[in-house]
Amino acid sequence: MAVQCPERLIFMGQDLDEMIADEVTAYLYLLDTEEATEIPFLLDCSRGSLEAGLALYEAMQRVHADITTFCVGDASAVTALVLSSGARGKRYIHPTARVCLAPFVTPVSGAIVPAEVTLLTDSLAHLLSANTGRPKAQIQADMKMGRTLTPDESVAYGLADHIMDMS
């Protein structure tokens, strides 16, 4: 379940599915007021539905306030896209977190055909390329091998901007 706290904070601490994407989207729109300048969004998701992640990405693009993303555990596959879709300069990763550019696995629910998997995976690679500045072919190769990145590597790769200062 996504949790909204009184401090205008969203925490997503379980696998991203359509229901969680809907909840987070509702919170984003609710918190996006004219007075809002920033919406903190904490992530700890090891897996997620690609369709749900792409829907959440689209909602993040429509919000006027800056979305500050914080990876506080894992961000794998489509949740790496969510992390990298925060406002430039406001994408953070915890010193013990990790990001995995995992290959897309078809969801258990719903029927999805191989051509659609290819299309969705290509869309994910394209968006990650736009967010990171990395060539799409490199992202596709890294996704295919399931590359896992440390916080330093995540910043160098362009998925995050800063490692959170814990002092």
pLDDT at 8: 78
The whole domain housing 136 covers: 2-163
Which residues make Cβ contacts (< 8 Å) with residue 127, sequence separation at least 6? 54, 57, 81, 85
SS3 124: helix
Task: Give me the number of domains the chain comprises.
Answer: 1
pLDDT at 119: 82
Whether the predicted model's global pTM rises above the 0.85 cut: yes
Q: Looking at residue 16, which CATH number applies to its domain? A: 3.90.226.10
Question: Is a pLDDT exceeding 90 seen at residue 115?
Answer: no
pLDDT at 164: 95
- Cβ-contact 105, 124 below 8 angstroms: no
What distance in Å separates the CA atoms of residue 154 and residue 160, rounded to the nearest whole number? 6
